Chains A and B, each alone.
Chain A
Amino acid sequence: MSELTLTVIRLGFLAVLWLLVLSVTSAMRADLFGVRPPKPPKQSRAAARQSKQPKGGKGLPSKIVIVEGPDTGRGVPLQGAPVTFGRGDECTLPLADEYISTQHARLRFHEGQWYVEDLGSTNGTYVGNERLTRSTPVNVKSRFRLGKTVVELRK
């Protein structure tokens, strides 16, 4: 085995080792910067018509944002599926607010309108100064409050 071949192999090995380190790092990139969410699975037409929010429907909110409370700045898009709020892990939007129940409130889309309803929470859900007792329609710029958290619907 000639000296030259061994040197080439030695450098080659180091290069490959570093290549592995770099590929591992690039595989981790997705975790740091995120990847595009996958397209939602195709629903059957009928189901889509019922639950899916019509695209560009006039005046319909497209996302919710938390504007007050410990989770200020977080939010989720509204796509037609119900959104639940609470401290529990199984909620769509788990919140850190201590004044919130495990399952506190829910946003629900029904026949072209979003409704907010209280899920029997301890401290109640408020629209304005009114404590919710039944499903209440909400629109863009509506705010509702649970615990110390204020949620706003946005276009």
Chain B
Amino acid sequence: MSLNQRLPRSEPANEEAVVPRRGRGTELLLLIFAVGISTFAYINVDLGALGEVPADAMAYLGGFFAVSCIAHIVIRIRAPYADPVILPIVVTLCGLGLAMIHRLDIADDTSHATTQLTWMLVGVALFLAVLFFIRDHRILARYPYLMGLTGLILLILPLMPVIGHSIRGAQIWIRVGGMSFQPNEAAKIVLTIAFAGFLVQTRDALALAGRRFLGIDLPRARDLGPILIVWVTALGILTVQNDVGPSVLLFGSFVLLIYIATERISWIILGLMLIGFGIYAAYNVVSHVRERFDLWLDPFIDPTGQLAQSLFGLAYGGTIGTGLGQGHPDMIPIAESDFIGAALGEELGLAGLAAVILLYALLVSRGLRASLVLRDPFGKLLAAGLASGLLLQVFVVLGGVTRLIPMSGLTTPFLALGGSSLVMNWVLVALLIRLSDAARRPAPTDTPSFADDAATQVVRVT
């Protein structure tokens, strides 16, 4: 019925045989591998596009390695049981993204790669800060209402008169002192924490109380109320901002979280029905959405030809790609942010893009694994929420780029150019590392022999 009661059954009967290894050595090895691949990609770009090894290749290697090592050492100190594959996957994705942005820089004569590198350093700094200051993820569960409010404020910020800022028709930026930032990236994480916190408190009521309607258990309004208010407000704000992607993401991870919390399949059905209804309504009411649909059905009516160029690029890349630096990904308008998946698909081919997608899948699976193993319900929900948010985001972006679904403005995590997205995804990874550390840390097995004296128990605040 509840999450922690499911745990024993999801584990194999010979549970005692599985002793988690810290895996810090494995992590270091994989990290060296990841840094090597990133540098390889960087050199390969210059070799392909300019025919020479970049002069700063060694500096790039050294810098990347130093940054990864600092992250690794901090994990060793602060989260010694963390999952060993999360950091290497993230470093690889960042390295591939940087190489591809550098490649587009060469073609367009811009210098986005330097900006991106700077943002990556900021991201790693925040990553370290999260690991240092959040010693136990359960403190995040203390203030779900405050978290929800913060998330909403973050979403509203771009609509404020002075700091709000609109780029390409989407009012999702704030500009303070010459720096632009997309607060909805931060809101994504904060709202996931808030939802997880709410649901821990109310999931039993959500699953059990309420009446049945059309074979679906509808919960009581007072149980669902707070979440529903936050969620509807969030969606409303996003619609006003003319930004479809985050609303899809928010809705999707919300439905998945509530499904995970209550274990009722009816939520998925309800969610799919609402999505269908929402899409139909949006198509008829919001011109922006209708436009996206038309472009999806007929990419050639777009004067910029973004989606069409992306498809041409993917086709030109074929199975094994044109090779880094040797395709024409710069023909896709703004390839470095929304369409970086297509640029990678062109130069690395199906084989390369599949590997990238697999890396994402592995990252998500590590999050879900942490969620399965974690012993406290809040941690379980948070890990599952963060992982499924990442999963949805990758699906929505790459699905849009490959014309599986209509394009909706979301960034490809870690790959795409964009400081806010990169920084916030590093924070998300820090949380996943913290959660996986808690999950894999061995439970205290040897109970103290004076257990009889411990008549008053410490009630854990979850």
Contacts and interface: CB of A to CB of B under 8 A. Distances in A.
B123 interface: no
Contact of A89 (B18, B44, B348, B375): B375
Contacts of B326: 6, 10
Contact of A120 (B12, B40, B447, B455): B455
B284 interface: no
B129 to A, nearest CB: 26
B16 A20 contact: no
Q: Which of B326, B358, B376 is most buried by chain A, counting CB atoms within 10 A of its CB?
A: B358
Contacts of B19: 34-38
Interface in A3-55: 6-7, 9-11, 13-14, 16-21, 23-25, 27-28, 30-31, 34-38
B18 A35 contact: yes
Given A21-B358, A75-B16, A10 B323 contact: yes
Contacts of B88: 20, 24
Interface in B332-352: 348-349, 351-352
A74 B8 CA distance: 8
Interface string B289-325: 0000000000000000000000000000000111110
A24 B362 contact: yes
A27 B355 contact: no
A74 B13 contact: yes
A27 B359 CA distance: 13
Given A6-B47, A13-B44, A75-B16, A21 B359 contact: yes
B8 A27 contact: no
B451 A103 contact: yes
A5 to B, nearest CB: 8
B329 to A, nearest CB: 15
Nearest to B33: A20
B317 to A, nearest CB: 11
Closest 9 CB pairs of A and B: A10-B323, A34-B18, A96-B5, A1-B51, A73-B13, A37-B19, A17-B355, A84-B447, A24-B85
Interface of A: 1, 6-7, 9-11, 13-14, 16-21, 23-25, 27-28, 30-31, 34-38, 70-71, 73-77, 81-82, 84, 88-92, 94-96, 102-103, 106, 119-120
